[in-house]
Homo-oligomer: A and B are copies of this chain.
Amino acid sequence: MNATIITIGDEILIGQIVDTNSASISRKLNAIGIAISEKISIGDTKEAIVTTVKRAMQSSEVVIITGGLGPTKDDITKSTLAEMFNSAMRYDETEGEHIRTLLARRGIAFTELNRNQALVPECCTVLHNAHGTAPGMWFDTPTGGVVVSLPGVPFEMEHLMDDIVVPRLESRFQLRSIVHTTIITRGIPESILAERIAAWEDALPDYLHLAYLPAPNIVRLRLSAYDIDKAEAESAINIEIEKLRAIIGDNIVGIEGATIEKLVHDMLLQRGATLAVAESCTGGTIAAKFTAIAGASQYFMAGIVSYSNASKCDILGVRMEDIEREGAVSECVARQMAEGARRVAGADYAIATTGIAGPTGGSELKPVGTVWIAVATPTGTIAQMRNSGTDRGQIISRASAYAIEMLYNELKA
């Protein structure tokens, strides 16, 4: 069973926003056994919407559309779909009252534009949007397919998918399963890894597809099976993973979508150990990565974004004379930051970063991208210099990943 996802909005085509809706919808559909054959983003024009939806209806049983349902003139998805399905519009009393109530709660007057949001094509099933003013729409097509139109606001789309669309699709179609399992490997470059596991790869059953997903220091191997019995696929995949362990067992660090911070999170929870973070150039990114994971409060004691030299000294106890002599971006400052964070927060482990994120502030000896990372543990402190790139965003992101990986290696050791 296949679906096409269409995201509508000029803001996507000009790159003003990144489309995250389609990835989220993909995951939800894959989870119930519907594969995505294509994702398409188009602008807010009638011609593009009609052409694309018609083409999608020919190639997929399920078409999910997001965007273009707002109250203003640039939003034309609803009227275009009504015209395409030759349907008149009707005023939906329930949706109208819901919109009126939502607006009243926020102290906003109900206008003609809001009234228009409760107009829906007669031929569709209205999907109640409990979290917003634009209802979703479900169209059954003459050829037995389904076209679903959802608001583009991510939060509203998520609720409509989870609460209404997914259950309706499951009861409407006989769905088989899709199974994806990702094996995370470290320490072998992609091309070498591919050679090492070539015989295993060639011997995989036909219905298992292997993909390589390289990232800095990590290669993920994804095994996918489509349109299959779930238990059968999972058992076949487990057998293949055991075979793989016999070849590269030492390099497999986890299964599934684990990030390096999730691996550290699990290890800290398992040991009952606690963590603190002292960040200069990464500016809170490392703390944000851990605290984004539910349950982090059980081990994450504190993070200090010691951006100024004074804060490095006052909060973390770094010696000002060392900053003056060695510079803020130096091994001894990174070490004192990590040790200071560990002490101040009363934590078992602490990570520290200090570097030059740019675009200014670099020198010949310490160019933009130079980052000192330290990890303080109950048994001592280690430090490492990592060149983390040339672009500010890239430097922050890479240095954060390197720092978390350093802690991971310590915990693993």
Contact = CB atoms under 8 A, between A and B. Distances in A.
Interface string A28-68: 00100001111111111000100010000000000000000
Interface string A15-35: 111111011111100100001
A231 to B, nearest CB: 20
Which of A24, A201, A212, A346: most chain B Cβ within 10 A?
A212
A48 B35 CA distance: 14
B23 A113 contact: no
A210 interface: yes
Count of this chain's copies in the oligomeric assembly:
2
A191 B114 contact: yes
Contacts of A17: 23, 213
Contacts of A318: none
Nearest to A42: B38
A191 B282 CA distance: 40
A39 B13 contact: yes
A137 interface: no
A19 B16 contact: no
Nearest to A9: B211
B214 A70 contact: yes
Contacts of A291: 281-285, 305, 307, 357, 396
A394 B307 CA distance: 27
Q: Is the interface of A mostly helix, strand, loop or mixed?
A: mixed
Q: How large is the interface on A (under 10, 10 to 19, 20 to 34, 35 or more residues)?
A: 35 or more
Interface stretch (A165-173, A247-255, A293-301): A293-301
B284 A303 contact: yes
Contact of A394 (B24, B155, B284): B155
Interface stretch (A121-129, A238-246, A308-316): A308-316
A358 B294 contact: yes
B30 A109 contact: no
Given A72-B190, A302-B305, A345-B308, A36 B14 contact: yes
Q: Which of A109, A192, A287 has the most CB of B within 10 A?
A: A287
Between A14, A103, A296, the greatest number of chain B beta carbons within 10 A of the residue's beta carbon is seen for A14
Nearest to A111: B191
A106 interface: yes
A335 interface: no
A387 to B, nearest CB: 12
A11 interface: yes
A12 B18 contact: no
A26 B9 CA distance: 13
Nearest to A109: B192
A297 to B, nearest CB: 6
Interface in A303-362: 303-308, 310-311, 314-315, 344-346, 357-361
List the 4 closest A-B pairs by CB distance, nearest first: A283-B291, A284-B287, A303-B305, A15-B26
17 contacts: A10-B209, A11-B222, A13-B38, A14-B30, A19-B19, A22-B41, A39-B41, A72-B212, A113-B195, A277-B305, A282-B291, A284-B291, A285-B288, A294-B392, A302-B306, A315-B344, A315-B345
